[in-house]
Structure 1
Amino acid sequence: MKGYNDLREHISALEERGLLVRVRREINKDTEMHPLVRWQYRGGIPEEERKGFLFENVVDSKGKKYPGQSVAVGVHAASKYVYAVGMGCETEETYDKWERAMANPIKPVKVSKGPVHEEIRTIDEIRDEGRGLDMFPIPISTPGFDNAPYSTCSCWFTKDPDTGVQNVGNYRGQIKANNRVGVYLSGLGQDMLIHWEKCRERGIPLEAALVVGAPPVVAYGAVTKVPRGVDEVAVAGGLVGVPIRMVKCKTLDIQVPAEAEIVIEGLVNTDFVELEGPFGESHGHMNPRQLSPFLEVKAITFRKNPIWSSWISQATPSESSCIKREGYEVVFFNYLRYECRIGSLNKVVMHERLTNLRKVIVLQLKNPSPDDAWRALHASISRDPGVGKIVVAVDEDIDPYNWDAILWAMSYRMNPQNDVVIIGNRRVGHGPPFRQIPAPVGGDPTPFDSAMLINALLKEPFPPVSLPSKKYMERARDIWEELGLPKLKPEKPWFGYSLGQWTDENEEEADLALKGEHYKTGEKLAAERIKVDEKEQAE
């Protein structure tokens, strides 16, 4: 027993939980597949109702069929519920599981063989029609705008030529020929880009293995921004509590997951680059062409009846943003709480819908010291370039997922003159505007953006929240349910509570009102009546 699910076992687990849609009717991978799944993100479907899709009867726009093959879309993270199945836990346990995995990674174990080598295509075979990349039903993600099918659930395994340490990252791949794939290395600092530049300096190509359909926990690790030098596959092992089984490629000195569906082995040219894109990206716009490296395929290995796994990305929310959200928030929390020692940090929330996690971040603090908010705000934009354009610090009583509550805090607890800081000369990061088209390899590092840090914490006592006290709301909820009224979904704040500006006298008067003795308060107020000065009245 390997102790973790491969993609096939994961799909079965989804089906057992009612989280999978099997589509047996014919579906065009180029024009129908991604738009169909897209509707569960743009059609008002709540997250708890989103599911993974398995397409079993796929054709392309030329009428080509792919017998024995299927395409999985949304099966990794159509929702946090689908994601939790991939993690092997309940939704409320994923955060803690990531924390434990980051603290206790488990090194992968090498094995001599695995299912991914059930079928092998050599360099001579893949030149033939139907024997190379064209044998797989690779979908078009943004029909009407993308210029080719792209691999999206694509784990690229490379090795640092100096240290020999492997890395895996998720980068899209443009299918350019039967034996050639572009690789989009966005942003400076990506490990694969660093490996490519080191090989270019040595005058050698970069060995790379493009893995499609890795075990879900490996795919989750590949997209999470773990600290440099930390092995993503070891973190994946930490997620499941056992080492991930790895097997050596047929033509490369690179280890890949033994239970992966497909491995595309090859060399990334370091003498030439090609234009790559445009492609619909997670910032909600088409990413224009960029000069990018490309992989020259040397071999393809795959399981019998392979499943091509495709992530739905583009405008968020999406599958890719759900995957990133679950891991990114833990990584940022650990960085701020433990590395920056901000002990009052209670939660990090990266806003997902349309803003794609990176740009808008909410920091919830509990009993902070006077300088904690500013320490947290400044530290939050220092970890990754281009991450954190609008960062808001709020108190524990503000729901960091509810923008009505956040704007409430900003409206009354924040004074723009004192509580907003603008930090200039920031990289724009992942997203428009695109000033240089085509951009060079790794993107355009020109600093022309800025960040806004907002301290929306309470600075002084406030009156209580103007809602009934908790015990009265709870009693009223019992009556509501007794009457058979629509199911309630409480939203914070759903009861009143003190924020410090509430006297014993205020409390006493409220108690008298509840006892029906409010006239006593009226008598007291009458006794304390103040005569209005005639002069003041005239004014």
Structure 2
Amino acid sequence: MSGPFASLRDYLSHLEAAGGLRRVECAVDKDRELACIARWAMEGTPEEEQYALRFGNVTGYRTPVVVNVYANHARYAEVLDVGVERLLERWAEAMAGPHPPHRVDSAPVFEVCDTEPDLTTLPIPVWTPGRDAGPYLSSAVVITKDPQTGVQNLATYRIQVQSPRRAGVFFGSRLQHGALHHSAWTKLGRPTPVALALGVPPAVHFAAAAKTAPGIDEMTIAGGLTGAPIDVVQARTVDLVVPAQAEYVIEGFIPPAAEQMEGPFGEALGYMNEAAPAPYMDLTCICHRADPIFHGYVQQLPPSDGHIVMEIGVLGPLWYYLTRKLKLKGIRDMAIAPGSAGVAWLIVQIEAGRSAEADSIGRVLARLNFGQKYILLVDEDIDIRDPHTLNWAISARVDPHRDITLIDDVKTWQLDPAVMRRAAGLGVVEPPYICSMAVVNATVRCPVPEISLPSRQLMDKALERWPETRLPPIRPRQRIRRLLNTHGDSG
């Protein structure tokens, strides 16, 4: 079976059959051990060999917990049944041709419904043991709607278990669409209806991470990503529709203008976010499948599968705006640098013959501002997903005085400790916060010597003879192949 997948469990079955899911059957404590084991598995495995983990013996619970499901770019692309090289174009197609969801009358997620909800019955882990305030839903798709237009919004916000029937909702910024919805409901003097969907179809997870304009229902983008409408069903106690194929749906209301302390929590930039007042939701029911699977992101310090979902949630909409809306020419590909928390370092590959346009392309990207601190522009010979060649390009092709442009007073999100230090100095206590941005032009715009590699012909000949050497098998990296293809006559 190949993607797109109608449900998370369909994809997990596919993963396990392909050897991409490992089961942990020993007893594991969800608050002290689970995240630590998952972190070591991620840190100790190359990205291309990453695997999902299924914890089947969580102490005190019968429900299994799965993590690291979207473990690398190939895995993400597989979900959408495309190659990695077509991921951004697939996103542009989805946003240009969204599919409204399909309403159904019944759904697996409503096989069991409890109107006396208790969050402590779910195996919700502590993701930064010894530091977090308690268990958190790290991958919940938070569903709200605009009270005026009725358009729903999907997003992934952190959700803290504060009591059996209460959960803290951290929007991160009052500019987030969910926060805007909550503000609109509060102005009407009414509670905000909210649903938390857990273990949703993969495309719904991906769409919930998308950086889109207000007024767009991300469920339609999820349909665009899969090429078919997503099945949705009316929620039981709130006026919202939810993914029919979810594992869990948690429903409730956020009281108007009410807050309580939330946090601390280990955030996606790799630092602890301090406790502060935040909205909370009072639960009205918890529904789930008869045999639910609990899914979470081990996000915290990069890298993780949550960061990959964040990263493409930035790149996909950005590619759409650049290529479909602005019809900007000269960009061949884009990536987010590993370790930059899914957003901070944007790498842009300029088409061959267009290096002279790199500065103007950089200015356009800076004006769009999808949350980047750095924009790095490179030529086609650079593998934009390889740190070695990226560092080589910066080291050998950049004159800092000439090729780095600093832009001040750029709006940014609040979880960056460097930004928060500046905000504290200015006495700014709420977003939007301000930082600076650097645009680095690492394209070649003058004659340069040949690169110091043997010619492609000789390198290919050596590769053909590799079996004769009786050395261990090798997998040539894309970075060297790209350089040889671009500078084939060198050496």
The equivalent residue for 1:74 is 68
User: Structure 2: 5+ residue runs without aligned partners?
Assistant: none
Q: What's the CA shift string for 1:451-506, capped at 9, x where partnerless?
A: 11111111222222222221122112212333232314245346668889x9xxxx
Per the alignment, do residues 85 and 415 of structure 1 end up closer, same or farther by CA in structure 2, a change over 3 Å counting?
closer
Per the alignment, do residues 114 and 283 of structure 1 end up closer, same or farther by CA in structure 2, a change over 3 Å counting?
same
Could you tell me how far apart the structure 2 residues matched to 1:488 and 1:116 are? 43
The equivalent residue for 2:113 is 120
User: Higher mean Cα deviation, 172-181 or 466-475?
Assistant: 466-475
The equivalent residue for 1:182 is 168
Could you tell me how far apart the structure 2 residues matched to 1:80 and 1:113 are? 34
1:327: Cα distance to partner?
Answer: 3.5
Q: Is the 8 A contact 2:88 2:319 kept in 1?
A: no
The equivalent residue for 2:378 is 394
The equivalent residue for 1:7 is 8
The equivalent residue for 2:216 is 230
1:226: Cα distance to partner?
Answer: 2.9
Q: How does 1:298-337 map to 2 (within 5 A)?
A: 298-337=284-323
The equivalent residue for 1:426 is 410
Could you tell me how far apart the structure 2 residues matched to 1:185 and 1:315 are? 19
2:97 is the counterpart of 1:104: yes
Could you tell me how far apart the structure 2 residues matched to 1:26 and 1:119 are? 26
Selected match of 1:475 from 424, 442, 461 = 461
Could you tell me how far apart the structure 1 residues matched to 2:4 and 2:407 are? 47
Selected match of 1:373 from 358, 362, 366 = 358
SS at match of 1:183: strand
- Residue 374 of structure 2 aligns with an amino acid whose one-letter code is I
Q: Is the 8 A contact 1:463 1:498 kept in 2?
A: no
Q: Is the 8 A contact 1:461 1:499 kept in 2?
A: no
User: Higher mean Cα deviation, 243-252 or 483-492?
Assistant: 483-492
1:171: Cα distance to partner?
Answer: 0.6
1:371: Cα distance to partner?
Answer: 5.5
User: Higher mean Cα deviation, 466-475 or 279-288?
Assistant: 466-475
Selected match of 1:461 from 439, 443, 447 = 447
Matched pairs, number: 482
Q: Is the 8 A contact 1:141 1:312 kept in 2?
A: yes
Could you tell me how far apart the structure 1 residues matched to 2:487 and 2:18 are? 43
When the two chains are superposed, the root-mean-square deviation of aligned CA atoms in Å is: 2.6
Could you tell me how far apart the structure 2 residues matched to 1:471 and 1:308 are? 52
SS at match of 1:54: strand
Could you tell me how far apart the structure 2 residues matched to 1:475 and 1:186 are? 55
- Residue 379 of structure 1 aligns with an amino acid whose one-letter code is V
SS at match of 1:357: coil
Selected match of 2:431 from 431, 435, 444 = 444
Q: What's the CA shift string for 1:404-432, capped at 9, x where partnerless?
A: 32333333333222222111122352311
The equivalent residue for 2:24 is 23
Q: How does 1:82-101 map to 2 (within 5 A)?
A: 82-101=75-94
The equivalent residue for 2:53 is 53
Q: Is the 8 A contact 1:98 1:327 kept in 2?
A: no
Q: Is the 8 A contact 1:344 1:372 kept in 2?
A: yes
SS at match of 1:22: strand
Scaled by the length of structure 2, the TM-score of the pair is 0.91
Q: Is the 8 A contact 1:292 1:441 kept in 2?
A: no
Per the alignment, do residues 100 and 56 of structure 1 end up closer, same or farther by CA in structure 2, a change over 3 Å counting?
same
1:85: Cα distance to partner?
Answer: 4.2
The equivalent residue for 1:517 is none
1:3: Cα distance to partner?
Answer: 7.8
Scaled by the length of structure 1, the TM-score of the pair is 0.84
Selected match of 2:344 from 356, 359, 369 = 359
SS at match of 1:333: helix
Q: What's the CA shift string for 1:26-83, capped at 9, x where partnerless?
A: 111111111101112222x111221111122112xxxxx223x2111122x1223433
Per the alignment, do residues 102 and 381 of structure 1 end up closer, same or farther by CA in structure 2, a change over 3 Å counting?
same
Q: Is the 8 A contact 1:155 1:210 kept in 2?
A: yes
1:359: Cα distance to partner?
Answer: 1.4
Could you tell me how far apart the structure 2 residues matched to 1:205 and 1:252 are? 11
Could you tell me how far apart the structure 1 residues matched to 2:360 and 2:195 are? 41
SS at match of 1:27: coil
1:109: Cα distance to partner?
Answer: 0.7
User: Higher mean Cα deviation, 473-482 or 90-99?
Assistant: 90-99
1:401: Cα distance to partner?
Answer: 2.0
Q: Is the 8 A contact 1:325 1:352 kept in 2?
A: no
Q: Is the 8 A contact 1:48 1:79 kept in 2?
A: yes
Could you tell me how far apart the structure 2 residues matched to 1:417 and 1:80 are? 35
The equivalent residue for 2:237 is 251
